[in-house]
Amino acid sequence: METRIRTADERRREIEAAAVKMGIDEAYISVLVDTFYGKVRAHPVLGPVFAEKISDWGPHLAKMKDFWASVALNAGRYSGKPVPKHAALTSVQERHFDIWLGLFRETLDETAPTPQAADYFMERAMRIAESLKLAMFGLPGLRAPAQAET
């Protein structure tokens, strides 16, 4: 079997081409982010959690569009550090991630151009949520008593 080493630009083009076949592009990512965070802001549990830290949504939405473009299209525009940012949010509870994922799935069901696009985003959202939960709360059963939810 022959191994072909690709450049970062070649890999980025391949990922973008695969995403485009599913109907994923910058315009859809913008719709996804705007719709999803509209739901988050209106949610009775998540809305207040986000409102504690975000007063000007314009920059946050732009950052989230860059984040999701980097996740979905390998655009390379997001350079933030989500784990420390989320770890600093003391009002976030582990259960909030399930609500977040539920709203994300709902948004995908309403907006995704194809079922494949919905699955593509949801798979990544689930990995991201799990990673953040592990970073913030540790493994169930191995947490320090102060980390356990009441």
Check which CATH number belongs to the domain holding 59 and give it: 1.10.490.10
Under DSSP, is residue 81 helix (H, G, I), strand (E, B) or coil?
A: coil
Handedness of CA 49, 50, 51, 54 (dihedral sign): positive
pLDDT attached to residue 142: 61
pLDDT attached to residue 141: 66
What distance in Å separates the CA atoms of residue 40 and residue 20, rounded to the nearest whole number? 27
- Domain residue limits at 36: 21-137
Distances (CA, A) of 11 to 14, 73, 119: 5, 10, 21
The conformation of residue 147, written as its DSSP 8-state character, comes to: G
The tally of domains found in the chain comes to 1
In a domain, 10, yes or no: no
The tokens of 116 are what? 């494949």
What distance in Å separates the CA atoms of residue 124 and residue 9, rounded to the nearest whole number? 21
What distance in Å separates the CA atoms of residue 134 and residue 87, rounded to the nearest whole number? 10
82 close to 29: Cβ distance less than 8 angstroms: no
The conformation of residue 50, written as its DSSP 8-state character, comes to: H
What distance in Å separates the CA atoms of residue 35 and residue 22, rounded to the nearest whole number? 19
In a domain, 85, yes or no: yes
Per-residue pLDDT tens digits of the chain, which is 150 residues long:
778 888 888 888 888 888 889 999 999 999 999 999 999 999 999 999 999 989 999 999 999 999 999 999 988 888 888 888 887 788 889 999 999 999 999 999 999 999 999 999 999 999 999 999 998 888 766 655 454 444
